[in-house]
Amino acid sequence: MTLNSGIPEGPLKEKWDNFKSNMKLVSPANKKKKKIIVVGTGLAGASAAATMGELGYNVDAFTILDSPRRSHSIAAQGGINAAKNYPYDGDSVWRLFYDTIKGGDYRSREANTYRLAQLSTNIIDQAVAQGVPFAREYGGDLANRSFGGAQVSRTFYAKGQTGQQLLLGAYSALMRQVDAKKAGGEGVPGVTMYTRREMLDLVLVDGVAKGIIVRNLITGDIERYAADAVLLCTGGYGRAYFLSTNAFNSNGTAAWRAHKRGAFFANPCYVQIHPTCIPASGNYQSKLTLMSESLRNDGRVWVPKSKEDAKAIREGKKTAADLKESDRDYYLERKYPSFGNLVPRDVASRNSKTMCDDDLGVNPTGRAVYLDFEREINAQGFNTIKDKYGNLFDMYKKIAGEDPYKTPMKIYPAVHYTMGGLWVDYSLMSNIPGLFVLGEANFSDHGANRLGASALMQGLADGYFVAPHTVGNYIATENPSQVDTSHPAFDAAENDTREYFQSIMDVGTKNEKNKHGRTVIDIYRELGHIMYDSVGVSRTKEGLEDALQKIPKLRESFWNDLKIPTETGKFSKYIEVAGRTADFLELSELMARDALEREESAGGHFREEHQTEDGEARRVDDKFSYVAAWEWKGRNEPHVLNKEELVFENVKLTQRSYK
């Protein structure tokens, strides 16, 4: 099957304008008759739902959480990029575009990435108008800081809680539309909010997305909703690794169920491992906590030069303070003189792993490096550092029990973001007409690696500025026929959902009777180990083949040994987790397969067989300059690979170098 990316004609800089000039509009009278479903209310979902409501559509928004304000976008700390060039340090839309596409190791679409850079400035204006309290200078101007992978200061921030403030901005816009809908009633545009609902299936009528099946997490009821277009804004699939910086409820289920209905899954192997997280301390660990990358602006990464010193530190016989400057290896500054501690995330992560593999790790598990603020505290003063990172330092102290003002932090990489996701065209529509995918859930803008402070940018660009236009264009162009939930396709989809759900419950019931089995967390945790070992920071052919043996076996174990509460009519967290784990057990296999077939290194996907003499990622552009869009063929059939060739007309592909 050929994939049409639908990129508009014209020079790169004019494509988005050309699209908007040529798109068709829905008349205001018609808009309120059109129903839009938005699944997920993070940055992408909340901003899309709010904007579509403002434009006059009737929107149904769904979240698995008890409030849209809790979506995991809220946890983004460091900031949001925008090519405002306020510091006058030479930034521009082009430079942001170039940094993003280069940072993504030339595996993203030029047109999408350029549009993202273009829209970045609008996001800041929009957020400020909404009352997002970004950090300011004394004179009243917005403050900026620099971030990994960039040589300019273009990151806007609100303490270490930028994601929270941007999400609350989008959430408040969303709530305004909920208010409008409640005040207006039937037939009046706005948003109807459905909380604690989990999407379990996508409903297609003649191959076109027409609705969703959800489970009410409070009552256990299966419910159906119809619409003219469905927007998936459900985030990434990083929880396939069990331990990650993602939230406990983050999952890949909505995207995966849509995939099983025909939506292609693109580049699943592109996973970002964030370099600055608090290391795991034991097997009870339920998640990893990220420390904002902004810490690398003033923090210096190091390990002891000698293995003896590292061993002494691990055993508690020495501390960081015992090591003289000359005994420390500031390896990022040494290896990458021009970017130093600000190299992109994948480079920083891989180097941490290499150092620890060489027995230079500094915590009892041997899996940690230092992030040291001593020099900058002395240079800039305690208060300046406290002002910049106070809440991050407090958070570290709370979790690790050590004071980073006095002793260096210990950090280690953790799975953080997934660049892969459902395939979409320039309009953010998947290969299923009427199914749009926004934010982290799609694959489109970051290529093989995402630059810091770009996730917030993408979620909001998609939700505020792209989808409201492209969805309208779809509706105006295709004029999709309206169906309601009494259509037989809904009966069929609901039946499928019930049967699948029941098949999981049946395993639980059987094992309950036989007093046999293992808990869903036990299975899930094992999946995480397999994924970290073989589909993690660096990957090998052998490791991936091994994972492809182990995952199906583990999946078999799930379908035989699963032990869960079987009372389905009530709120039950482990029933939710079981469904999500079942999906991850399928998705993770595809991740390993994609990683195996991509015989090159690119961004977050590092194949040990493909590296330069310096240990850097080596792409194989003549063979792999494509998007791998995987097609589901059935439960017992292998996926089929479809390719979208990436065309670069504006940037020259070079070997990334941050030296």
Nearer Cβ to other proteins (177/442): 177
Percent helix, percent strand, percent coil in the chain, to nearest 5: 45, 15, 40
Q: Does the footprint of other proteins cover residue 135 (CB under 8 A)?
A: yes
Minimum Å distance from CB 359 to other proteins? Answer: 21
Q: What is the DSSP letter of 175?
A: H
Q: Does the footprint of other proteins cover residue 7 (CB under 8 A)?
A: no
Choosing from 81, 118, 153, 165, the residue that interacts with other proteins (CB under 8 A) is 165
Instruction: With contacts defined by CB under 8 A, name the span among 100-108, 111-119, 308-316, 570-578 that binds other proteins.
Output: 570-578
Q: Is 525 a catalytic residue?
A: no
Nearer Cβ to other proteins (126/155): 126
Helix (H) or strand (E) holding 416: strand 409-418
Nearer Cβ to other proteins (116/124): 124
Please, which of residues 573-632 interact with other proteins by CB under 8 A? 573-574
Q: Does the footprint of other proteins cover residue 334 (CB under 8 A)?
A: no
The amino acid that residue 79 corresponds to is G
Nearer Cβ to other proteins (262/565): 565
Instruction: Please state, in angstroms and rounded to a whole number, the distance separating the CA atoms of residues 141 and 128.
Output: 11
Q: Does the footprint of other proteins cover residue 564 (CB under 8 A)?
A: yes
Residue 649: other Cβ atoms inside 10 A: 8
Instruction: Please state, in angstroms and rounded to a whole number, the distance separating the CA atoms of residues 76 and 168.
Output: 12
Minimum Å distance from CB 159 to other proteins? Answer: 6
Instruction: Please state, in angstroms and rounded to a whole number, the distance separating the CA atoms of residues 407 and 402.
Output: 7
Instruction: Please state, in angstroms and rounded to a whole number, the distance separating the CA atoms of residues 348 and 342.
Output: 8
C-alpha count within 13 angstroms, C-beta hemisphere, residue 291: 30
Minimum Å distance from CB 245 to other proteins? Answer: 8
Choosing from 13, 20, 182, 553, the residue that interacts with other proteins (CB under 8 A) is 182
Q: Of residues 345, 555, 580, 593, which has the active-site annotation?
A: 345
Choosing from 465, 490, 630, 632, the residue that interacts with other proteins (CB under 8 A) is 465
- Tokens in use for 378? 């002395």
- How distant is the alpha carbon of residue 556 from its chain centre? 28
Choosing from 23, 75, 476, 505, the residue that interacts with other proteins (CB under 8 A) is 75
Q: What is the DSSP letter of 605?
A: B
Q: What are φ and ψ of residue 161, in 5° steps? A: -130, 40
| End-to-end CA, the chain | 41
- Tokens in use for 607? 């194949």
Q: Does the footprint of other proteins cover residue 563 (CB under 8 A)?
A: yes
Give me the sign of the Cα torsion angle 452, 453, 455, 458.
Answer: negative
Minimum Å distance from CB 141 to other proteins? Answer: 5
Minimum Å distance from CB 521 to other proteins? Answer: 6
Residue 508: other Cβ atoms inside 10 A: 21
Residue 156 bridge partners (DSSP): 80
Please, which of residues 253-312 interact with other proteins by CB under 8 A? 281-282, 284-287, 289-290
- How distant is the alpha carbon of residue 113 from its chain centre? 16
Nearer Cβ to other proteins (330/574): 574
Choosing from 61, 193, 209, 362, the residue that interacts with other proteins (CB under 8 A) is 193
Rounded to whole angstroms, the maximal C-alpha distance in the chain is 75
Please, which of residues 86-105 interact with other proteins by CB under 8 A? 86
Minimum Å distance from CB 299 to other proteins? Answer: 19
Instruction: Please state, in angstroms and rounded to a whole number, the distance separating the CA atoms of residues 477 and 242.
Output: 42
Choosing from 1, 188, 218, 321, the residue that interacts with other proteins (CB under 8 A) is 218
Q: Of 85, 90, 74, 92, nearest to 141 (Cα)? A: 85
Q: Does the footprint of other proteins cover residue 497 (CB under 8 A)?
A: no
The amino acid that residue 162 corresponds to is T
Per-residue binding string, other proteins, 356-395, x by CB under 8 A, is --------x-----------------------------xx
Nearer Cβ to other proteins (291/544): 291
Q: Does the footprint of other proteins cover residue 3 (CB under 8 A)?
A: no
Q: Does the footprint of other proteins cover residue 23 (CB under 8 A)?
A: no
Minimum Å distance from CB 611 to other proteins? Answer: 33
Return the SS3 of 227.
Answer: coil
Minimum Å distance from CB 250 to other proteins? Answer: 8
Instruction: With contacts defined by CB under 8 A, name the span among 109-117, 171-179, 332-340, 633-641 that binds other proteins.
Output: 171-179
- Tokens in use for 12? 């790169």
Q: Does the footprint of other proteins cover residue 398 (CB under 8 A)?
A: yes
Nearer Cβ to other proteins (41/430): 41
Residues comprising the chain, all counted: 659
Instruction: With contacts defined by CB under 8 A, name the span among 3-11, 328-336, 446-454, 461-469 that binds other proteins.
Output: 461-469
The amino acid that residue 415 corresponds to is V
Q: What is the DSSP letter of 56?
A: T
Minimum Å distance from CB 208 to other proteins? Answer: 27
Q: Of 313, 289, 198, 196, nearest to 251 (Cα)? A: 198
The amino acid that residue 505 corresponds to is M
The residues annotated as belonging to the active site are 345
